Chains A and B, each alone.
Chain A
């Protein structure tokens, strides 16, 4: 767990949306999914996930339903709404542009400037 990176502020929402975009998940499932899709590289404090989830639900980006988990426990499932999907698309684009710009900026060598 030592090479895990703290996630950047503001990126938790995007990660959650991305994790849920692959299918409905409960809270713990989302954490596992984020760990899986980031190759165990991103660390989220477990409790900190929930305020984020509630925020997204309030913004109408996620909707919830109760179901039974693979461990046969009652759990609350989250999935994307239509506007959640749109937001994910838009934020992903924004992120990619940011990353491209950052990468370009950081890869410039001194003599090229």
Chain B
């Protein structure tokens, strides 16, 4: 019972805290009144009696605090007391509080956003059970992360480290479930795919290894949950239904569970189909070619095997494959990487960039803390009198310190709450964003518990950091001096104070951010104005795959020509042509080429690895790829004519030494087929904007047929007008093919996506940095002017010139700004080497960037110091002297 009572009194002590506090106040006052009553009886006045009673009572605050402690006040208890007091103090200076909260909201918000992205892309594994055992198996050296199907089979069957290895590719196809074919995106996966990932179907069943019996043997598909909901309206009878995939009949086996997006983080497929059906799905198959590396491998590590043991095992296997198949696998090396971002292809740069971004946003927070630290220090200085008074009344220094810390933490919690709200809104937008038109790519970065925890920890830590800045001031405060001199104490000390260091640090951090973002923006502007090797403006892209209509071979070529002629006939179309691949789109093909003298077609004998485009006559004209020498392909370069190609300048240099030698020379493609060079075109960008010059060849699509068709249509008519005309004319052809029509510029967003996203992120951080620098400088300048207003007034009265007044008032701030900016600029330039991985042409040694940073920081300084400077110049000695 006693224990229960004790608990109850303890609990009620916490909740009835404010009542206890009021009662204590009343009780002590009553004591003083009673004493004063007695003293009054001795014949002195009431006022004198009360004064004397208070003196006799002793240190009021001190005893009150001791009473709190003795009555069992615990940490929670005094914390609520501190919180009430802190919120009262903060409410008293709303301007200060608002600036502080906004500053922190920016810092915490930026960190919450970046952390969420880091969490989604780097920390959080792919959404499958036991994701920690999953590894991507990929080539160790080359830029790509993919393997060929024959190599996959060997690796799958002969390794000793994985319980199972699955393979997959991503591709578009035409799916017809209700009469009209529509383009969908799918995973083509090996039979064991779902078993390796360890997922269970939501409805029906998945396909398994036992369903595969050679090419096109498994006409089954699995719907994603989202596609099932949107296209089959969640109908459970869908299992067993027959649909047409590119005019082949497939059976729906089942539906994947909600939230399962397959083995990649950013790709959300509509369906999964067995990889053995590749020929039917893609219209062509390279499952038998050991050199055609197009599939990603993901495996389940056996228990007890470390990743390094596994990669040793895989490399033994690679060495024997290299011996067995020297023509394709010579020099093969394998390694492991984390799943979710196409192996190291995206994973490497994305992880590096997001980590870099996290560092930069941590710098933003650090700058915000430095900013708030100096604000709080300035305020603690102003409150010197209050602190001195409380010390004199018997408050302990520890208590006052705790009080100041509580204020800081309260501000930081308020700021982070606001920051989180903003961050969540921004993250929703990012999650819903689909950067590439027509392809189901997006990155769900919605915040989870980890994000909120991280934000809370950051808020508390930063609150403590900037809250502790004024600690020294409080600890060395001398109540006597404080009372005597009020808030003027120590306002003029010539040595460098902690506040100065903080401001210089903050300015340096901000200059780093500004430098980084200027480098990124500059790179972005350059990349937009660089030469792509084609002109996307005023060009439309019509994408289809004639194979989806079931056209093959000659039939396909005739259909493609028919489509082209129909499009050319549209009024306003100045040029048109088609190709199987478009430069800077997501997919590309490259192939090894050999010198004419080569006789042994091993990879090691290759002269170059060239981008390959199978194009129609007129494509180069429609793309406005400049022909430098020779002629374009013609309709006479048919199957029966000698093989011909147009190559780019880089190709000509690599194979023939010079552009002049190229025309009329031969080179060899796979299997030793001789190809005659008939023309040379300018170099362009093919895979990414930041690539080095790549050799490229444009082969005649009549001689190397392809069902994939990208029609490039050049026209000066408005986009809406030409789109409508294209739709009308293509429908009139009655081909039964799905067409997707968009402008080339829009399609190009894909290639520019990473650079754009990176520049945007860096730009935002730069703006944040500049804003923090402004508030920081403004804070210190305003503070130092207000401290010295009287002195400045006297200087003006004594005839000081404007320049002298300004240098007296703001000289120190300006010196700090200059020093901080210089340090930040140097650090920023050093850091931009990191940026050049992602941002195209991010060169730190660029006079525009250097000038831009100096200009920005000067502007920041001017903006921040303008109001304090006006105030300093307007100081009126008479008014000021009267005030004191």
- Which residues of A come within 8 Å of B, CB atoms? 26-29, 45-48, 50-55, 57-58, 69, 71, 73-76
Q: How far is the CB of A23 from chain B (nearest CB, A)?
A: 17
B757, CB-defined interface residue at 8 Å: no
Which one, B33-41, B175-183, B620-628, is touching chain A?
Answer: B33-41
- B16-60 to A contact mask, C-beta < 8 Å, 1/0: 000000010011101101110100000000000000000011111
Q: Interface 1/0s, chain B 503-547, versus A by CB < 8 A?
A: 000000000000000000000000000000000000000000000
- A79 to nearest B CB, angstroms? 15
Query: A47 to B70, Cβ gap below 8 A?
Result: no
Known A46-B35, A46-B58; further 5 A-B contacts with Cβ < 8 A: A26-B34, A54-B70, A58-B71, A73-B37, A76-B23
Residues on the A chain within 8 Å of B60, using CB:
47
What is the distance, in angstroms, from A29's C-beta to the closest C-beta of chain B? 8
A28 CB contacts on chain B under 8 angstroms: 30-31, 34-35
Judge whether A76 and B27 touch: CB under 8 Å: yes
- Which of B61-69, B468-476, B863-871 interfaces with chain A? B61-69
Query: B72 at interface (Cβ–Cβ under 8 A)?
Result: yes
A81 CB to closest chain B CB (Å) equals: 12
Known contacts A28-B34, A71-B34, A75-B34; A50 and B27 CB within 8 A of each other: yes
CB distance from A11 to the nearest CB of B (A): 17
B35:A47 contact, CB within 8 angstroms: no
A63 to B72, CA, bound (A): 15
Once A28-B31, A45-B58, A46-B57 are accepted as A-B contacts, the answer to whether A74 and B26 lie under 8 Å apart by CB is: yes
Complex alpha-carbon distance, A3 and B139, angstroms: 97
A35 to chain B, nearest CB (A): 11
Query: Quick check: B67 and A54 within 8 Å, CB to CB?
Result: yes
In Å, the complex CA distance between A73 and B58 comes to 22
For the complex, what is the distance from the CA of A7 to the CA of B28, rounded to whole Å? 22
Of B23, B30, B59, B71, the residue contacting A26 (CB under 8 A) is: B30
The reply to whether A71 and B67 contact each other, CB–CB distance below 8 Å, is: no
Partner of A55, one of B34, B56, B70: B70
Write out the residue numbers on chain A whose beta carbons fall within 8 Å of the beta carbon of B71.
54-55, 57-58
Assembled-state Cα–Cα distance A46/B37 (Å): 15
The chain B residue with its CB closest to the CB of A29 is B34
Please name all residues of chain A whose beta carbon is closer than 8 Å to the beta carbon of B59 when the two chains form the complex: 47
Residues A58 and B30 in contact in the complex (CB < 8 Å), given A46-B58, A71-B37: no
What are the residues of chain A within 8 A of B34 when measuring CB–CB? 26, 28-29, 69, 71, 73, 75
Q: Is A50's CB under 8 angstroms from B63's CB?
A: yes
A47 near B62: Cβ-Cβ < 8 Å: yes
CB distance from B261 to the nearest CB of A (A): 60
Most chain B beta carbons < 10 A, residue from A29, A54, A58, A71: A54
Complex formed: what's the CA distance from A113 to B35 in Å? 51
A53 to B27, CA, bound (A): 12
- Considering only residues 119-162 of chain B, those with a C-beta below 8 Å from chain A are none
Complex CA gap A54/B313 in Å reads 74
In the complex, which residues 809-858 of chain B have their Cβ closer than 8 Å to any Cβ of chain A? none
Would you call A48 and B70 a contact (CB within 8 A)?
Answer: no
Contact indicator B30/A46 (Cβ below 8 Å): no
Binding site for A on B (CB under 8 A): 9, 23, 26-28, 30-31, 33-35, 37, 56-60, 62-63, 66-67, 69-72
Q: A47 touching B58 by the CB < 8 A rule? A: yes
Q: How far is the CA of A76 from the CA of B34 in the complex (A)?
A: 12
Give the chain B neighbours of A27 by CB distance below 8 A: 27, 30-31
Across the interface, do A51 and B69 meet the contact criterion of CB distance under 8 Å? yes
Whether A46 contacts B67 by the Cβ 8 Å rule is no
Asked whether B67 lies within 8 Å of A50 as measured between CB atoms, the reply is yes
Complex Cα–Cα for A73 and B30 (A): 7
Q: Give Cα A80–Cα B69 distance, bound, in whole angstroms.
A: 21
Which residue, of B31, B66, B69, B72, has the highest number of chain A Cβ atoms within 10 A?
Answer: B31
Q: Give A22 to B64 CA distance when docked, in angstroms.
A: 27
The docked-state distance in angstroms from the alpha carbon of A21 to that of B33 is 24
CA–CA, A74 and B33, complex, Å: 10
**Contact call A51/B30, Cβ cutoff below 8 A:** no
Are A47 and B63 in touch, CB under 8 angstroms?
A: yes
Cα(A87)–Cα(B525), bound, Å:
86
Contact A75 B30 (CB under 8 A): yes
Which interface residue of B59, B60, B66, B70 has the most chain A CB atoms within 10 A?
B70
Assess whether B30 is in contact with A74, with CB atoms less than 8 Å apart. yes
What is the CA–CA distance of A99 and B759 in the complex, to the nearest angstrom?
Answer: 85
Given contacts A46-B58, A50-B63, contact A73 B33 (CB under 8 A): yes
Give the docked Cα–Cα distance between A30 and B57 (Å).
14
Q: How far is the CA of A16 from the CA of B115 in the complex (A)?
A: 60
Q: Taking the nearest CB of chain B, how far is it from the CB of A55, in angstroms? A: 4
Q: A52 near B56 (CB under 8 angstroms)? A: no
Scoring A45, A46, A48, A69 by chain B CB atoms within 10 A of each residue's CB, the highest score goes to A46
Distance from A80 Cβ to chain B, minimum over Cβ atoms (Å): 17
**Which residues of B have CB within 8 Å of A50?**
27-28, 31, 63, 66-67
User: In the complex, A52→B33 CA distance in Å?
Assistant: 20
Nearest-CB residue, chain A, relative to B33: A73
Minimum distance in angstroms from A68 CB to a CB of chain B: 11
The interface residues of chain A lying within 8 Å CB-to-CB of B23 are: 76
Q: Are A75 and B63 in contact (CB under 8 A)?
A: no
Q: Are A51 and B63 in contact (CB under 8 A)?
A: yes
Residues of A within 8 A of B31 (CB): 26-28, 46, 50
Would you mind naming 30 contact pairs between A and B with Cβ atoms under 8 Å apart?
A26-B31, A27-B27, A27-B31, A29-B34, A46-B31, A46-B58, A47-B57, A47-B58, A47-B60, A50-B27, A50-B31, A50-B63, A50-B67, A51-B63, A51-B67, A51-B70, A54-B67, A54-B71, A55-B70, A58-B9, A58-B71, A58-B72, A69-B30, A73-B30, A73-B33, A73-B34, A74-B30, A75-B27, A76-B23, A76-B26
Measured CB to CB, the closest approach of chain A to B410, in angstroms, equals: 28
Interchain nearest-CB distance for A90 vs B (Å): 18
A48 near B27: Cβ-Cβ < 8 Å: no
Across the interface, which residues of B come within 8 angstroms of A47, CB to CB? Answer: 28, 57-60, 62-63
Interface centre among A28, A47, A57, by most chain B C-beta atoms within 10 angstroms, is A47
* Bound: A91/B131 CA distance, A: 69
The 10 closest A-B pairs by CB, nearest first: A47-B63, A47-B58, A51-B66, A54-B71, A28-B34, A54-B70, A55-B70, A51-B70, A76-B27, A54-B67
Q: How far is the CA of A75 from the CA of B29 in the complex (A)?
A: 9
CA of A57 to CA of B72 in the docked complex: distance in angstroms?
10
Report the Cα distance A75→B31, complex, angstroms.
8
Nearest CB in chain A to that of B73: its residue: A54
Cα distance A7–B288 in the bound complex, in angstroms: 102
Measured between C-beta atoms, what is the minimum distance from A6 to chain B in Å?
14
Roughly how many angstroms separate A75 CA and B30 CA in the complex, as a whole number? 6
CA–CA, A47 and B66, complex, Å: 10
Closest to B65 in A: A51
Give chain B residues whose Cβ lies under 8 Å from the Cβ of A48.
Answer: 58, 63
Within the complex, the shortest CB–CB distance from A28 to chain B, in Å, comes to: 4
- Shortest CB-to-CB span from B54 to chain A, Å, is 10
A73 to B29, CA, bound (A): 11
Residue with the greatest number of chain A CB neighbours at <10 A, chosen from B9, B33, B56: B33
- Which residue of the partner chain A has the closest CB to B62? A47
The complex places the Cα of A20 from the Cα of B69 at a distance, in Å, of 22
Task: From A29, A52, A73, give the contact of B70 (CB < 8 A).
Answer: A52
Residues of A within 8 A of B35 (CB): 28, 46
Task: List the A side residues contacting B66 at CB < 8 Å.
Answer: 50-51
Write the chain B residue with the least CB distance to A76. B27
Least distance between B528 CB and chain A CB atoms (Å)? 73
Bound-state CA distance A76–B23 (Å) is 9
Contacts of B70 in A (CB 8 A): 51-52, 54-55, 58
A71 to B59 alpha-carbon distance, docked (Å): 25
Complex: chain A residue closest to B35, CB-CB: A28
A53 to B70, CA, bound (A): 9
Residues of the A chain whose Cβ atoms lie less than 8 Å from the Cβ of B69: 51
Q: Which residues of chain B are within 8 angstroms of A51 by Cβ–Cβ distance?
A: 63, 66-67, 69-70
* B residues near A74, Cβ cutoff 8 Å: 26, 30
* A53-B66 Cα distance, complex, nearest whole Å: 11
Residue of A nearest to B394 (CB): A47
A76 to B57, CA, bound (A): 17
